[in-house]
Structure 1
Amino acid sequence: MPARDIILVTLIAGLLPLCFFRTWIGLLVWTWMAFMNPHRLTWDFAYSLPFSEWVAMATLGGLVFSSDRKPVVWTRETILFLALWAWFCITTLTAMYPEAAWGQLERVSKIFLMSFLLIPFFQDRRRIRVLLLVVAGSIGYYGLKGGIWALLTGGENLVLGAPGNTFISTNNALALALNMCLPIFFYLAKEEPRRWLRYLLHATFFASIVSVLFTYSRGGFLGLLVVLGVLFLSRQNVLPVVLAALLLCLLAFGFAPQKWVNRIDTIVNYQQDGSAMGRLTAWSVAFQLATDNPITGGGFWSIINGQTYRRYLPDYALEDSPDAHSIYFGLLGEHGFPGDTRPRTRRTRLGLELRSDAPGKHHRLPGHRNVCQLRVLRPRLPGVHRLRPSEGARRPAAHPSAPGGRHQHGTARALCREGKEATAAATGLGQVKRPCAG
């Protein structure tokens, strides 16, 4: 009897009417489905059911009758957000591989639509906090579970995300998502009045650090050091917790198996590592592609197609291609220099606006400004990944019950905004192309 499947289907069926009559609840349920992918934790018929589509349809259907939405806050960041989507449409018209590009544009457009709807429905403190709790709970589940599993097994195997075509199916993607959510765990716990939830958020914070370490992702490890360093230097009395987190990292070095130490050592000698050199090759191809097509680039999926590599590297013999693992080179190659400039501008303006606030200025969302600052910073850290549909999107994915020595969990990305109207929006991202350790 597939108990998990029955429970999940019953739960979603019960939530659909609520999603229809309460649009903001539907957006929360959609966020939960997009970030956590709970259907990937089942074992039978619910594993491949399109729950997110069902929730989206109910939410959009009830949008017409919704009376609690507020006007969209038209800021520079909002306009840049929509401009980026419009540019994706333009570059898809001239894409090198139209069939693949149109399929990816459809996927991206769905994410942009649901993300944009968060703006008119989440403009007050209570709803924004609930939204952040949903994000924290969705990704924190895998951080808490993975941290406990890594400690119990001695860190011998990779901590991975949920199998199949999910947002955090690989070690690199999971490490990135957890690093981005560490400040959310911490600041939510700092403001949480309920003791049990505060302890749970702190436990998730520490366990997620362990999970990042034992994803064996080198980029995730470097990003973790920077995130903890920024928390250490913040002015929000985080010193005791950050010191404890750093101590936890030091304990991990003494606790970790030798193969983990060897893996991290390759950061220094990257010239001798095939994965690192493959990324440099991918960056070079992406830049050459953008140079040949400076306005529109090659379109979606152009820099991960083996034909593109054979075009610029005649001696390239592999059927597949290395992954750039870089949002900057990915956007540059696929959408040209304008496509790479828009997200950089949006993040830069948001970061400058957040930094320009006076330290003593009253905020309607105390602490959340720091979350936004760290989330703006994290994509600029070492090891930032180009998030793509996982290997399961193109090849049959292994069922979670299949035998194997790797623990599988189930990204996120987020768009955070705090302005005069205290608006914040959080969205889901794609994931890396293949589960190669980073």
Structure 2
Amino acid sequence: MPTRIAPSRYSKVCCAVRDIIIFIIVFGSLPFIFKRPAIGVMMFAWISLMNPHRLTYGAAYDFPFALLLSGCTLISMLMSKDPKSLPSNRVLVALIIFFSWTTITSFFALEPDLAWKEWSRVFKTFFMVLVTLAVIRTELDIKQLTMVITASLAFYGLKGGLFTIGSGGHYRVQGPEGTYITDNNCMALAMVQITPLIWYHAMQEKRKWFKLGFQALTALTLVSAMGSYSRGALLATGAMLGFLWLKSRNKVATGMVLLALAPAVLMLMPDQWMGRMQSIDNYQEDGSAMGRINAWTFAYNVAKSHLLGGGYIVFTFKQFQLYAPNPQDFHVAHSIYFQVLGEHGFIGLGLFLLFMVLAWRSGSRILAATKDKAELKWARDLAAMCQVSLIGYAVGGAFLSMAYYDLYYYIVAIMLLLEKWLALQPKEAPPPPVRQVRTRPRPPLKPAPSR
């Protein structure tokens, strides 16, 4: 983890102001959280995804905001009389089974101390996702949660995009310290995942300048992803943009924007960026790429030797001495798939993939249920962009250790909430059947008697 750089006197003043602002926002939200638990889950999502306290150097940096917000949200749930229920969905069942399996593997972990510490962190993520699914019910709540999730990471898209343009692309974009997205590669994946949700807001916006603003934010977020110098992000961006075009309602307009956007983003990057991207073809000569292959082989060897896998955080130097082809070339998993394989075995990987497939099908069901319904166009667009985000995660995650990243599970949660909300809507009554009245044929008229 990078060392924290001591701030200058001016920076200390700025950071002190940031501390005060964050404390005011969080503690100022508590009365509203006790009134409505939905506000609590939105505040928790903001703290969890954006990590604004990690942008400070004062008391806010290590303050347990997540614990405070989760505790207040649970109390609010118990006090609230609003209906609360989890969606009846196979995706949710798969998630619960997957986490239950990871709990079993933790009892037999090769690095038990590290495993239970990671289990605790993952449990908090999954538990708050369940709380979110239970308390979010209305259309407004779903839209507000989506906006909070989008804004939490679009902030870094805006910041990273402007930094890349201002520096000429000569420096890597990284996230705040002590978070999931500290590493430049992880930051890039987050930018790829959030881009479709930014585009969703552009699709919904009717005001010209706001629409242009969201489109510009989309472009800056892509620039931020490229500015990370992540080769995996380049592949994920290509796949994500292809599906974004496929899932868009107006393919002609979207295609024109993307065709103009992609070359413009690439033209901003310097020659050193181009050289790094071209090294994808020469992975045999790339020490980083060969290190990943060594780590992937390690994961396979662990899963082959242990039915339950090695448990959370099995990718350690100690275990590499036993299972890696090259024991001295130690790397983390660098793949969500091999990460789960090494930590939870073939069964765990199967459950992880099952959850991903069922999540995609959930989005497809929403698209089918909202087809040709103008009043549900927003739900259809949101489900489509969530699917695009899943594609970015599935492709980019093949090169990163982010199997338990919050954003992925929140995006799946949005689709489950859409299904839950659609199920609560009154069904349209079918038109009454046309009643056919049988009439007897009229007898022929008798000719009038002649006089």
Name the TM tier (shorter chain).
0.7 to 0.9
Which residue does 1:352 correspond to in 2?
A: 361
Mapped contact 1:17–1:58 kept (Cα < 8 A) = no
Work out the CA distance in 1 between the residues paired with 2:80 and 2:23.
25
Q: Which amino acid aligns with 2:357?
A: T
How much has 1:156 moved relative to structure 2? 0.6
Counterpart code for 1:82: I
- Residue among 414, 417, 423 paired with 2:415: 417
| Residue 387 (structure 1) aligned with residue 399 (structure 2) | no
Structure 2 gaps of 5+ residues are: 1-12, 424-451
Aligned length: 399
Paired with 1:140 and 1:44, the residues of 2 have a C-alpha distance of 24
Q: Contact between 1:176 and 1:220, CA under 8 Å: does it hold in 2? A: yes
Identity %: 31
1:163-206, CA deviations, whole angstroms, 9 ceiling, x for partnerless residues?
Answer: 2x212111111111111111111112211345554333222111
Alignment partners' CA distance in 2, 1:379 and 1:194 = 31
**Structure 2: distance between partners of 1:325 and 1:313:** 14
Measured on the aligned residues, the alpha-carbon RMSD in Å equals 2.3
The within-5 A match list for 1:292-307 is 292-294=305-307, 296-302=308-314, 304-307=315-318
Q: Which has the higher helix share?
A: 2
The residue that corresponds to 2:90 in the other structure is 76
> Using a 3 Å threshold, how does the CA distance of structure 1 residues 3 and 237 change in structure 2: closer, same or farther?
same
**Contact 1:19 1:62 (C-alpha < 8 Å) held by counterparts:** yes
Cα distance in 2, alignment partners of residues 83 and 389 from structure 1: 15
Give the match's secondary structure for 2:228.
coil
Q: What amino acid maps onto 2:171 in structure 1?
A: N
- Of stretches 133-142 and 238-247 in structure 1, the one that deviates more from structure 2 is 238-247
Matches within 5 A, 1:8-407: 8-163=22-177, 165-193=178-206, 197-294=210-307, 296-302=308-314, 304-313=315-324, 316-317=327-328, 321-355=330-364, 357-358=367-368, 360-362=371-373, 363=376, 365-382=379-396, 384=398, 385-387=400-402
Moved over 6 A (4+): none
Q: Is the 8 A contact 2:175 2:187 kept in 1?
A: yes
**Higher alpha-carbon deviation: 105-114 or 373-382:** 373-382
CA distance in 1, matches of 2:286, 2:29: 49
Deviation at 1:12, TM superposition (A): 1.4
Partner of 1:430: none
- Work out whether residues 231 and 242 of structure 1, in 8 Å CA contact, stay in contact via their aligned partners in 2: no
Q: Is the 8 A contact 1:280 1:324 kept in 2?
A: no
Compared with structure 1, are the counterparts of its residues 307 and 388 closer, same or farther at alpha carbon in structure 2 (3 Å cutoff)?
Answer: farther
Shift of residue 70, structure 1, vs aligned partner? 2.9
One-letter amino acid of the structure 1 residue matched with residue 317 of structure 2: G
Q: Which runs of 5+ in 1 are unaligned?
A: 391-410, 425-438
TM value normalised by structure 1: 0.85
Code of the aligned partner of 1:70: K
Structure with higher RCO (Cα < 8 A, 6+ apart)? 1
